[in-house]
Chains A and B, each alone.
Chain A
Amino acid sequence: MTTIENKKTFEIKNLDLFYGETQALKQIEIPIYEKEVTALIGPSGCGKSTFLRTLNRMNDLVESCKITGDVKYHNENIYAPQMDIIGLRTQVGMVFQKPNPFPMSIYENIAYGPKCQGMKNKQELNQIVEESLKKAALWDEVKNRLKESALSLSGGQQQRLCIARTIAMKPEVILMDEPTSALDPVATAKIEDLIVDLKKDYTIVIVTHNMQQAARISDKTAFFLMGEIIEFGDTNFIFSTPKHKQTENYITGRFG
């Protein structure tokens, strides 16, 4: 039944997360396998986005957030005090639900990350911009207007731009928080194809409300409910023969 176990990029154990007094995540335990797409599904407010943000420490931006437990990235606990947060974020990139390109030119958007890390050489930057846009399947559409504002692109293109921007940092992991929920079906389909293509090179963790999307593109699926992981496993088992009634009820839509 199980294939050869891939390497674990992330290993999370006993993760508890509190916003002030409220516990948002309870004893989360889950592996994230390398070069696979792991989907996080579950009803609204069940903690999947919160969990996603713990993987690149974006939860740090919320003052009242407290975390205990082990979040190991390549066997290093990323919540250890000496962890280089900025370095972590260059390795673990994030794409958000609403496309959020900077109000700059397309070129500047992609070059932003590398420039922040100190890259100045024009040639190198040009190359990175081209590579990233190609990998994000956007190059052909924008190669003649790199100096135009990123905001002049359509929603779907903007989201692919955000993906390209993340790729420009050459991360190992890409976290995606409902990346297609703000897009039309055609744009969604393009991004889904892109994700399936990207997983050859990147480890992807995606939060999605769209069950069919999770079924279509992911290798592993985790079902979150009220801050806990009810079930985790190969996507095809979760969607054909789930072990827990709650999982079954959720994916057949018997409860939201």
Chain B
Amino acid sequence: MSNRNVKEKTYLGMTYGAAFVSLAVLIMIIGYVFINGYKLLNFDLITHNYTAVTYISDLDEGFVLNNYETQRDFDEDTYYSTKWGLALTDDTDLQGKNVVVVTYVHPDSPLNNLHNKGVGQSIIELKIDYEIIRIAFDGAASALSSRGASLMITTLDDNDDIRELEFATTGGGIRGSIITTLYLIVLTLIFALPIGVGAAIYLNEYAKNNKFNRMLRNFIETLTGVPSIIYGLMGLAVFVPLTIGLTKATTGNIISGAMTLAVILLPVVIRTTEESLKVVPDDYRYASLALGASKTQTVFKVILPNAFSGILTATLLAIGRIIGESAALVFAIGTSIKDDVYLTDRSTSLAVHIWSMMTDEPANFELSSTIALIILMIVLVLNISIKLISKRFMRKYGVLT
């Protein structure tokens, strides 16, 4: 008797242990990413361009220096020059370096309209959040950002003229990559879902149970296990030239990336949809056919709405895979981080962006963790919103599971 008890307890202990270990590992990983990425998390990251543009400028002819009093209240670490109407603060940039950032520019300050000494626009505005890199003066030492905002303001106040003002627009943001990722999700789903669901309907509802169809099923099942990098190579070989030929693309682009991803996802979508179609009870099919509905009507009016939650799962799985796919995309889209995203041009998804960050010198682990955190949040939001939408959809159709 006690022998059996011991056995029981051991098995029980093992199952508890397994659950505990799984939970612990998950929490550790997410926790680690969270802790590392949390510090750099801010709204600017999402909205800013990646590439920061540096401008060298000087003042317009005939500028006037005045007394730019302001009623604004500034923080302790913000330094304001009433002479120039400029407020500067010490800050850390998105990479973690110390920088001097513009916090306020008085509307009448001459620093509003700067003359661009380089190429591009002739007049540039000095905007909030821009970094001041260097201010050069005639007859005085330049003020460098490495010295801090306080010193820069003091130096400014000591001078009446500026020879050069070197500043940079904000950068390091992942806006481009986020947009790319969203484009990818939508396009891939547009390609993969109709074809996948259609194939699953064929296999489950119309295909006879003969050798050919059984082989077909086996084949599709095998495909779910093929490593995605192989698909990436195929994408490079097939879809990139295809899109180059059909559109004005010249290299790997988002459309070819979406096509590649769609091919990767097809077996998964087909399998999941097929499973959810199988689960729909035959009773419904019989009832529908006995009422004089055709097979097609039965499939689209009764079976598909019922398999909806399964198809939803397939979609969510797909989205997860799309967001996480990096290897295949490296070939099919390329690795240039872009700020202006075009469908027919190369870009990076968030995952590839992380890859790019980590292969840079030096590898930027903290930022990557932050991006990882953002990805997690996107996945969470997508999950919840799709579930909500589907609930609304099912209620509208009166389909309830």
- On A, residues with C-beta under 8 Å from B are 56, 58, 61, 63, 86-87, 89-90, 93-94, 96, 98, 100-105, 108, 112-113, 115-117, 147, 149, 151, 162, 165-166, 169
Contact A94 B302 (CB under 8 A): no
Residues in B neighbouring A102, C-beta threshold 8 A: 284, 287-288, 302
Task: Tell me the complex Cα distance, A94–B292, Å.
Answer: 10
Residues in A neighbouring B400, C-beta threshold 8 A: 103, 149, 151
Contact A100 B292 (CB under 8 A): no
| Distance between A26 CB and nearest chain B CB, rounded to angstroms | 25
Contact A58 B290 (CB under 8 A): yes
Residues in B neighbouring A166, C-beta threshold 8 A: 290-291
Task: Tell me the complex Cα distance, A149–B399, Å.
Answer: 8
Residues in B neighbouring A165, C-beta threshold 8 A: 287, 291
Residues in A neighbouring B283, C-beta threshold 8 A: 96, 98, 100
- On B, residues with C-beta under 8 Å from A are 208-209, 281, 283-284, 286-294, 297, 301-302, 306, 397-401
Contact B301 A56 (CB under 8 A): no
A88's closest neighbor in chain B, by CB? B292
A107's closest neighbor in chain B, by CB? B398
Contact A86 B292 (CB under 8 A): yes
Contact A112 B286 (CB under 8 A): no
Task: Tell me the complex Cα distance, A58–B287, Å.
Answer: 10
Task: Tell me the complex Cα distance, A98–B284, Å.
Answer: 11
Contact A63 B208 (CB under 8 A): yes
Contact A116 B287 (CB under 8 A): no
Contact B286 A100 (CB under 8 A): yes
Residues in A neighbouring B294, C-beta threshold 8 A: 86, 116
Contact B287 A90 (CB under 8 A): no
Residues in B neighbouring A61, C-beta threshold 8 A: 286, 289
Contact of A93 among B290, B302, B306 (CB under 8 A): B290
Residues in A neighbouring B297, C-beta threshold 8 A: 116
Contact of A89 among B208, B284, B291, B306 (CB under 8 A): B291
Contact B284 A100 (CB under 8 A): yes
Contact B399 A94 (CB under 8 A): no
Residues in A neighbouring B401, C-beta threshold 8 A: 103
Excluding A61-B286, A165-B291, A166-B291, 18 further A-B contacts by CB distance (< 8 Å) are A56-B290, A58-B290, A89-B289, A89-B291, A90-B291, A93-B291, A94-B290, A100-B286, A101-B287, A112-B288, A112-B293, A112-B301, A116-B297, A117-B292, A149-B398, A162-B287, A166-B290, A169-B292
Interface-central residue, A89, A116, A162, by most chain B CB under 10 Å: A116
Residues in B neighbouring A87, C-beta threshold 8 A: 292
| Distance between A55 CB and nearest chain B CB, rounded to angstroms | 11
B281's closest neighbor in chain A, by CB? A100
A98's closest neighbor in chain B, by CB? B283
Residues in A neighbouring B398, C-beta threshold 8 A: 103-105, 108, 147, 149
Contact A112 B209 (CB under 8 A): no
28 interchain pairs, CB-CB under 8 A: A58-B286, A58-B289, A61-B286, A63-B208, A86-B292, A86-B293, A86-B294, A87-B292, A90-B292, A93-B290, A96-B287, A98-B283, A100-B281, A100-B283, A100-B284, A100-B286, A102-B284, A102-B288, A103-B306, A103-B399, A103-B401, A105-B398, A112-B302, A115-B301, A116-B293, A116-B301, A117-B292, A165-B287
Residues in B neighbouring A101, C-beta threshold 8 A: 287
| Distance between A245 CB and nearest chain B CB, rounded to angstroms | 37
Residues in B neighbouring A147, C-beta threshold 8 A: 398
Task: Tell me the complex Cα distance, A100–B284, Å.
Answer: 6
| Distance between A122 CB and nearest chain B CB, rounded to angstroms | 16
| Distance between B170 CB and nearest chain A CB, rounded to angstroms | 53
| Distance between A256 CB and nearest chain B CB, rounded to angstroms | 27
Contact of A169 among B286, B291, B302 (CB under 8 A): B291
Contact B293 A113 (CB under 8 A): yes
A113 with B306: in contact, given A58-B286, A100-B284, A149-B400 (CB under 8 Å)?
no
Interface-central residue, B286, B287, B290, by most chain A CB under 10 Å: B290
Contact A116 B286 (CB under 8 A): no
Task: Tell me the complex Cα distance, A2–B288, Å.
Answer: 39
Residues in B neighbouring A94, C-beta threshold 8 A: 286, 290
Task: Tell me the complex Cα distance, A104–B302, Å.
Answer: 9
Residues in A neighbouring B209, C-beta threshold 8 A: 63
| Distance between A72 CB and nearest chain B CB, rounded to angstroms | 20
Residues in A neighbouring B292, C-beta threshold 8 A: 86-87, 89-90, 113, 116-117, 169
Task: Tell me the complex Cα distance, A165–B209, Å.
Answer: 32
A106's closest neighbor in chain B, by CB? B398
B287's closest neighbor in chain A, by CB? A100
| Distance between B293 CB and nearest chain A CB, rounded to angstroms | 4
A147's closest neighbor in chain B, by CB? B398
A113's closest neighbor in chain B, by CB? B291
Residues in A neighbouring B302, C-beta threshold 8 A: 102, 112
Residues in B neighbouring A162, C-beta threshold 8 A: 287
B291's closest neighbor in chain A, by CB? A113
| Distance between A111 CB and nearest chain B CB, rounded to angstroms | 10
Task: Tell me the complex Cα distance, A168–B201, Å.
Answer: 29
| Distance between B275 CB and nearest chain A CB, rounded to angstroms | 18
Contact of B291 among A98, A104, A116 (CB under 8 A): A116
Task: Tell me the complex Cα distance, A101–B399, Å.
Answer: 12
| Distance between A248 CB and nearest chain B CB, rounded to angstroms | 35
Task: Tell me the complex Cα distance, A112–B301, Å.
Answer: 9
Question: Closest 3 CB pairs between A and B?
Answer: A90-B292, A100-B283, A94-B290
Task: Tell me the complex Cα distance, A197–B283, Å.
Answer: 27
B283's closest neighbor in chain A, by CB? A100
| Distance between A193 CB and nearest chain B CB, rounded to angstroms | 23
| Distance between B82 CB and nearest chain A CB, rounded to angstroms | 70
Interface-central residue, A86, A103, A105, A149, by most chain B CB under 10 Å: A103
Task: Tell me the complex Cα distance, A61–B282, Å.
Answer: 11
